[in-house]
A and B are shown apart, each in its own frame.
Chain A
Amino acid sequence: MEPLMGMGVLALMGAAATIAGTTEDLESDVGSQSNPNSQVQLAPQMMYPHRIYNKAISGEPPSNALICAIGGTVASVLMTASLSVIFAIAIGALVATAVHGTYCITAYMGRTASQKRFRQPIYLDILRSHTPVMMGYAFITTFCILVVSYIMVAVLAHPFPLTLLAFIWGITVGAIGSSTGDVHYGAEREFQNVEFGSGLNAANSGNIVRKAESGLRNGIDNSWFCAKFGGPVTGLAFGMTVFLSGWVTAVFNPATSLTMGWLSVAAGVILVLLMIIWNRKIEVAARKAFGPYKEEEEVAA
């Protein structure tokens, strides 16, 4: 392939991945999946009943791997039956979304019913309003992951089948959504009533913010907050992962010579080192800029 074409393909994959990462994080925020879920689950037990969707399908990686693998399976079957690629991917994502909806509903109803002794009611309006939102986000995520996987198979001639690639990218997008996006929901949103950077005191366990600007806070309010920064930054992280991991082999194509292969490895290592240094600088700058965290650090040291 022409190097310029290769770059174009990579850019398309990066763009699709950025959207997938964003919607993946927002989907988990609507339903309070993953790390922030432990506090949503704990709240009723500490006498803080709430109107927040409690969706524990599992960690984000397996749950996204599930929808992407089901989407990939259906799309791959439809493509074998020679349906057009766009339709195959769209129908695959649709089936995956339906399955995701059932997982969301059983998780919310089941977990809430198991908190009977803490008097946490099941709110059906929460179920009816939040589940379609999560299904919508899950559809976009699955669709974009299938686009990335299909490009890898059809254009870049990746040896893995579509379903397996979708499965692997599903785990990846879930893992990045969990590690990058959760912080902006968990620490910043659930505990925005405590001082920034103070960490989670044991006495505050389960005391999540349950009241909104007007009325009671729900999962959609949380995704509104996370859509400002947490979601997009997750998308950027995932888009960069997809783009940069492909970029090193697009620039230094290992197929041309062994030297190029080693150069691509070296370029990858340099990129990782740059990221580590950059992240460290951000962390140090943040510690200097914000108060209590720094003081406590000094006392501890």
Chain B
Amino acid sequence: MSAGGAGGEATGGIPQNKLIALGTLGGLAGAYGGHFLSVASPAFAFIGALGAICAIVWGGAAVRRVASYGLGTGVPSIGMMALGMGVVASMFGLAVGGIAGPIVAFITAAIIGLVIGVLANKVLGMGIPIMEQSMTEIAGAGALTIIGLSVAMTGTFMFDAVLETVVATGYIAVIFIAGGMAILHPFNANLGPDEKQDRTLMTGVEKGAITMVVAGIVATVADGASAIPSILIGVIIWYIAFSKYVKLVNRDAYKVLGTGLLPTEEELE
């Protein structure tokens, strides 16, 4: 039943390797850029959230690829799992890694993802050809999303500051759910046989921008990060992405009607 995806490999659009490069390099550059430039001025903390958006788009693309094998109701689960693996890996990485924290977290996430992917295919017998690679990608994207948003909230990825401002205050909960939804929602919202990659990824940018705004709101109570740049840039990115998304929907839909009756029998034939 194609209600849960086309049942085969997702096709079209930007090749996955380019998106992997965007997510990994963008995510790490965002985390490090936000961290080092925030020392000069807290206003630069928003760069962390830009990195998170790159990671979210990558994660959304990876979910799209693996969920196209008919994973209908499993799409939300896989998004939550991405951030579940990401939280474990990023806390571990930041705790032991010091300045190499994001890289350690990223590698840890990739290993956890690979193990879960192998378990899913070999032990549970899900038999999805790209499962191992996709779980590795999703876990990595989840970890980079968490680190990027933490940098936007605190201005640093040093474990003590993140623990104090993000974890102890409970804001990690909003990172978890807003980041996870941003990764799972793009494919879930556009699920169907006529899904297009550019529309799905544009939803990812739009949802990523919302997480950026939320991170900016949290930054108002943090010393190392300024709120205004994150909120302002987040709202601008959201507006642009949302307008583009609506354009793409108008391009792809069968009809966009102000109002009207159902299609007639002849029309459906």
A binding-site residues for B, Cβ under 8 Å: 38, 41-42, 45, 47, 49-51, 56-59, 62-63, 65-66, 69-70, 72-74, 76-77, 80-81, 95, 99, 102-103, 106-107, 109-125, 160-167, 210, 216
Contacts and interface: CB of A to CB of B under 8 A. Distances in A.
A122 to B, nearest CB: 5
A210 to B, nearest CB: 7
A234 B191 CA distance: 29
A109 B221 CA distance: 36
Contact of A116 (B2, B72, B245, B254): B254
A121 B171 contact: no
A110 B80 CA distance: 21
Interface string B205-221: 01100100010011011
Given A69-B177, A210-B262, A161 B168 contact: yes
B234 to A, nearest CB: 12
Interface stretch (B11-19, B27-35, B119-127, B180-188): B180-188
Contacts of A69: 173-174, 176-178
A65 B177 contact: yes
Given A103-B185, A114-B194, A121-B253, A163 B170 contact: yes
B249 A109 contact: yes
A160 to B, nearest CB: 7
A99 B178 CA distance: 10
Contacts of A42: 1, 3
Contact of B203 (A56, A63, A106): A106
A57 B185 contact: yes
Given A59-B76, A76-B169, 8 more contacts: A56-B188, A72-B174, A77-B220, A107-B185, A110-B200, A113-B252, A125-B258, A210-B262
* Main SS at interface, chain A: helix
B10 to A, nearest CB: 12
Nearest to B238: A102
B65 interface: no
The size bracket of the interface on B is 35 or more
A29 B195 CA distance: 25
Contacts of B177: 62, 65-66, 69, 167
B210 A99 contact: yes
Given A69-B173, A113-B194, A114-B194, A123 B181 contact: no
Interface in B152-171: 168-171
Contact of B188 (A58, A66, A76, A112): A58
B252 to A, nearest CB: 4
A124 B250 CA distance: 11
Contact of A121 (B196, B200, B260): B260
Contacts of A125: 258-259
Interface centre among A51, A114, A115 (most CB of B within 10 A): A114
Given A57-B188, A73-B174, A113-B199, A123 B257 contact: yes
Contacts of A113: 190, 192, 194, 199, 248-249, 252-254
A79 to B, nearest CB: 10
Given A58-B181, A62-B80, A73-B218, A51 B262 contact: yes
Nearest to A123: B257
Q: Which 6 A-B pairs have the closest CB atoms?
A: A114-B192, A161-B170, A164-B170, A58-B76, A163-B170, A167-B173
A120 B249 CA distance: 13
Nearest to B190: A110
B40 interface: no
Contacts of A72: 170, 173-174
A122 B173 contact: no
Contact of B3 (A45, A63, A73, A119): A45
B263 A119 contact: yes
B181 A102 contact: no
Interface centre among B1, B79, B181, B245 (most CB of A within 10 A): B181
8 contacts: A38-B72, A58-B184, A70-B214, A72-B174, A110-B203, A111-B189, A113-B192, A116-B253
B246 interface: yes
Contacts of A119: 254-255, 263, 267-268
B242 interface: yes
A115 B193 contact: yes
B193 A117 contact: yes
B191 A114 contact: yes
A216 to B, nearest CB: 7
Given A50-B262, A62-B181, A102-B242, A163 B190 contact: no
B195 A73 contact: no
A121 B263 contact: yes
B192 A111 contact: yes
